[in-house]
Every structure is written in C-alpha cells, then in structure tokens.
Amino acid sequence: MSRWQSVPDPELDERLAAEIRGLAHGARLPDDWSHTELLPAVSSRIRAESRRSSPSRVAALAGIVGTIGLVAVIAAVVVSRLPGSWPGGPYGEARHGDFVLTISAAKPDYVAGEPIDVEASFGYDGPEDSVELSTSHPITSFSVREVDGALEMVGDIPGVCMLSELDRHQPLRRPFTKMGGWSRDDPNADFYDQWWRDPVFRLPAGVWEIVVHSEFHLGPGCAGERVTMEASIRLTIDEPDATERPTPGAQAPSPHPSLVPVPTQEPPLPSPSPSHTEQPPTVGNIRPIPPGPLGPRAAHSAVWTGSEMIVWGGTPGNDNVPVADGAAFDPATDSWRLIAAAPLVPRARHSAVWSGSEMIVWGGSAGPDGPSNGALADGAAYDPAADTWRAIADAPDARLSHSAVWTGSEMIVWGGWKRSDTAAADGFAYDPRSDTWRALPALPVAARAGHSAVWTGDTMTIWGGSGFGPANDFADGAIYDPADDSGTSLGLDNLGPRAGHSAVWTGERMIIWGGGRSRPLAGLPFGDGAAYQPVGDSWWSISLVPAPGRFSHSAVWTGREMLVFGGRVDSSSLPADDGFAYDPEALHDCADLHDLPPVSDDSNLDRENELAEIAFRDFQVVRIRYTDAACQTHPFLGPYIEMLLED
C-alpha cells in the first residue's frame, strides 16, 4: 500500500502561511466587536445558566430579602429545575447539604404500555471544584411503587466499592434504568419477571410513584459519612383507548390483573429472553453469530483455537452470580457444542488464553459467594482435543478484570483489581511447561482494570480500562516488551476513554471495540472502535454501525474475522446470548454507500490488488475494489478514487 511521505517544501509553506493569515484576517470586524457583539451573545446565555444553577446566588438573594423572603426563596429552589429536566412534566427534588437529587418525567399522564420518559440527576453545588464519593451501589437507582396496590419494583444491586469524582455544577444524569430483582416466592412474581425483563419502562394502569434513590459515602473507600437521598414523582397511567387495543394475540398475556394490554404501536411486553442485538445488513462486513447453548453471558472469556471459539464462565443474569460452563462455536458450520465441566468454582471477569493446545483459564471473581476480597488466584487448562481439564498452580496474587495474553511460551496476566479497592499496574507470567509463575515489573501507566491487551508478536499492548479514583476511565495504554522487561506508554487519539471493551490483534492492527464508561450514570455502551497500527503509530477510527454497542463481551480474531459474543447492550437487560462476526477486510459494495463523502485522511491504495481503503465522514473505514463500475460511477467515490489514483 502507498503511504504518505513528507517532502519539505519551504516555498509552499510560506505561501500557505500567508494565505492562512489572509483567511484569518479576511473579515472586517468592528473595533469593539468583542464588546458589542460577542460579549452580549455569550453573557446572556451564561448569566441565564448561572442564575438557574448557582446556589450562592440564591443564598445571596435570601440574605437580601431577609427572613420573610427566605421561605419563598427556598421554595423557589425546590421547584427550580436543573438544566435538562423536562419543562411541564412532574418534577421532584431532594437536597442534602451541597448535593441535589432530582427526578423528572416528560409528562404526568401516560397510557398503559406506553414507554415512559423519566430522568434523574445527581449534582454537587458546593464550594469545591469537585468531590470524591464512593459507593458499593449505583449512585442512583430507581424504584417504582403502585400507590393503591401491592406492586413495588425496588431497584438496587450491591457491587464492589467504587470511587467517583463529581464536578461542581456538572450533574450526572441518568435515564430511568431497571436494576434490581424480585423473589420467586412473591405472589406477583410472574408480573415482576415480565416487568424486570422488559427493556422498555412502561406500567399498567394506575397511579405510580417513581422514586430515585441515592446512597453514597463521602470520600474514598466506602468508609466516610454515609448519605442517603430520595426524590419522587407520581405518574398516572390511563387505560388505553379501546380503539388503540391490539389485535388478539399481539402481546403476551398479563399475569397481573392491573396489567392492561399494550397498544400495538409500541413494542410488545417483554418475553423472558436475553437481549438479541439487531444486525441490519448495511455495509456487508457484519454477520450474526447465532445464540449458543449457554444462554445469556457477560464478563465471560473466549479464545480462538484455530478452528473454534471457546466461551467459558461469566454471568448469565443481572445478579452478578457466575457460572462454570462453556461451549465451543465453529464459524465454519455456525454451530455450537458444549464442553466438559471445569474443576473450577464458577467465576466471571477472569481471563483465558489459547496456548496452542490448551485454553488456560485464570483468576476472576466468584461473585457474592466468593472470597471477601473478591478475586481468585487459581486456574485450570482445558484440552479441546481430549475434552478434559487439568488444574494449574495458583498465582502469587489474585486478580479480577485483568488482562491476559499468550506470548508463544508464557501467559502474561496484567493489571486488574487486586482487591475491591486496589487496581494493579503490574502482572505475572505463567509457564505451562514448568507450571510456575514469575512476577513482572509495573508498566509506566496508571493501575487499571477492565482494560484490553493483545500480543503483537513480540510485545504486549494494553489500552483503556478504569482505575480506582478520580482518574476513572483511561484512553491511554502501554507497550510491554518481555525481551528486556521494558514498558513504554502509548498515546491515543480518535477513541474516548472506556472500559469493558474488547481488543484483538489481526497480525497488523489492534482492533478495539465497544465498552463503556465505568463511571456511574454514564449511559449506554459504545458501538464504535478503532484500529491501531504500530507501524507508523497510526490509528483508524472504525464504526461497526449498525451493530449496537456492547460491554463486558468477548472478542477473538480468527485470522479473518473478529467474533464478538455476549456482553451487555445496557445495564438493565439480561446479557446477550448471541454475537456477530466483523470482517474488516470485507469488500463493500459501492452501490450501498450512500451520502457519505469520503474524507481525504486515512485513505490508502493497494494498486496491485486494485483495492482502496477509504475513511468516510463518520470515520468508518471501508475497503472497495476501485475498478468496480459502481465505485467508479459513485457520485463521491468516483472523483475521489480518481484523485487517489492521480497521486
């Protein structure tokens, strides 16, 4: 492929500098433009925002109006809305010191089965630039109570203690999220089963109270002052109009007398099944992987043996309880087979590598029933040829959410959580021939977990992840060279910080995909990624549109495709039980590439094979055979290819 080369051209540089100066000063601005035009435009907006959100201004106003006016001012604070809440809809707020918790809905009345828009906001308005909070629960969780009935969906799932940093006047917003559970013994268990599995927030007819809770400790370590807050709103859910009733059989029957039919225009009530991500067929380099015999799965491991992808362990539900089963997927036949039971306790957030003859599983978390520090130090090796397992020596330390790569002779594990509040920046190497471990030095990057790692042939490249502390998610990485035990840091552009993503090595590039922000209330997982090529230290942004984002999934490289399996598409649904295969080398049909002018950056020609690798406006890189008629006559590609060929 051709590569750009830098050719010094002082004369062109000089002309260009003059032109750019001409461009910058081409507009005649009035002398007092900043005062008369820019400042009024900016000031009107920032002063309006400042009035809405600054408690110091409210306090100052309270001082001016005196004791009589104080009640009115406080009332005004209670009903004032943080930016982003819906005007006109119900609104609730709670305050504790400098913390504000709000909840709002788009409107007060909904129809049974209609999706309900509710958002919570948790902010800090105190004097510090930011505050540190720690919590073993989500910072906010939602509950729903039937005002005149017995139904109550209580949200809350304990986890490991995590530190978050909250910036002043930068409230964290979170749309209504289901995170909780129910008891099988409950007389309304059938209703709860349906409701919790429904990815859409909707309710049967009645009056409902929607509550947002916040529980956290001031400072790190979940040891400081514990604060709990609660704000709520009420919504009225009406019976649907008879004319909007669905046709018979169009939805699941209601297990609860108060659950009315769902209008046909809306998605059907949930079926008790895992999330399947939609795989629209656009640009031809994505194909679906069918659900396997394991069911939903997240925080599992996967390796590529040369002919099969073996998936093992992980969590099938939303309760963080792991399992110890596994299955192998053969992409040649699109079929799955179960593998033998492992001599290991169930676990998730562990690692697995393929040594050439065995899958080595190590570390991880045994879930709520595991050791108190949460991490495991044992492992086992699986031989697919014999369908048998053998135990391996315990490592010197335990880890979870770490990374592991196979170097050709050793398994290197790096980073991860040592305990629930301590991430690591070092690792160990395991030699299966001697069944021994050796310690490795720390790399020149921040300690982290939930990162990715690939072996590039002679070095290990780690990237992303999250740490314990204000730094939170990372968008940097490091390269470790075992030949001399050296490490170098790795910068990154094009891709935002994330954890719970995947990375594979194609032989030429590292493809990073998916993941999400680990900070609480951070939203849905990413559906984008990037390809990093060590030669030239270059990055390509990639977007696997239309595959929806996932986190806590697995990915392996088959030599031709990246197989993505399981993971979560949001934090409330069950994990996915399916996956997709992404072929970055797949040739796209130019006739399918609509309305996407190519960008002139990151484009390459392979003249020998008549292939062009072109970055588009959304930075998705596609490969085409540029001699195809549809490419040459494409309104954007035609002239662009011509330009490239002239180069």
**Contact residues for other proteins (CB under 8 A)?**
4-7, 9, 12-13, 15-17, 19-29, 33-35, 37-39, 41-43, 45-47, 49-50, 54, 56, 129-130, 167-170, 491, 493, 536-538, 597, 599-601, 617, 643, 646-647
Tokens of 80: 């004032």
Residue among 271, 262, 255 at smallest CA distance from 198: 271
Q: Is 644 helix (H, G, I), strand (E, B) or coil?
A: helix
State the minimum distance, in angstroms, from the CB of residue 317 to other proteins.
Answer: 37
Residue whose CB is less far from other proteins, 33 or 319: 33
Tokens of 288: 């679906």
State the minimum distance, in angstroms, from the CB of residue 573 to other proteins.
Answer: 31
Q: How far apart are CA 559 and CA 527, in angstroms?
A: 22
Residue whose CB is less far from other proteins, 40 or 272: 40
Between strands 477-481 and 460-463, the pairing is antiparallel
DSSP type of residue 38: I
Q: How far apart are CA 547 and CA 549, in angstroms?
A: 7
Radius of gyration of the chain (CA): 28
Q: How far apart are CA 446 and CA 467, in angstroms?
A: 7
Residue whose CB is less far from other proteins, 33 or 435: 33
229 in Cβ contact with 100 (< 8 Å): no
Count of C-beta atoms within a 10 Å radius of residue 394: 13
410 phi/psi in degrees, rounded to 5: -135, 155
118 in Cβ contact with 105 (< 8 Å): yes
State the minimum distance, in angstroms, from the CB of residue 626 to other proteins.
Answer: 16
Residue whose CB is less far from other proteins, 347 or 634: 634
Tokens of 3: 């590569």
Residue that has been written with the tokens 């004791």 in this structure: 67
Give the distance from CA 339 to its chain's centroid: 30
State the minimum distance, in angstroms, from the CB of residue 301 to other proteins.
Answer: 32
Residue whose CB is less far from other proteins, 17 or 223: 17
516 in Cβ contact with 450 (< 8 Å): no
State the minimum distance, in angstroms, from the CB of residue 24 to other proteins.
Answer: 4
State the minimum distance, in angstroms, from the CB of residue 535 to other proteins.
Answer: 12
Q: How far apart are CA 29 and CA 51, in angstroms?
A: 31
Residue whose CB is less far from other proteins, 126 or 149: 126
Residue whose CB is less far from other proteins, 60 or 65: 60
Residue whose CB is less far from other proteins, 107 or 168: 168
Residue type, 423: A
Tokens of 91: 């609104």
State the minimum distance, in angstroms, from the CB of residue 446 to other proteins.
Answer: 16
State the minimum distance, in angstroms, from the CB of residue 169 to other proteins.
Answer: 6
Residue whose CB is less far from other proteins, 5 or 333: 5
Residue that has been written with the tokens 């309305």 in this structure: 595
H helix or E strand, kind and range, residue 260: none
Tokens of 292: 């396997």
State the minimum distance, in angstroms, from the CB of residue 165 to other proteins.
Answer: 10
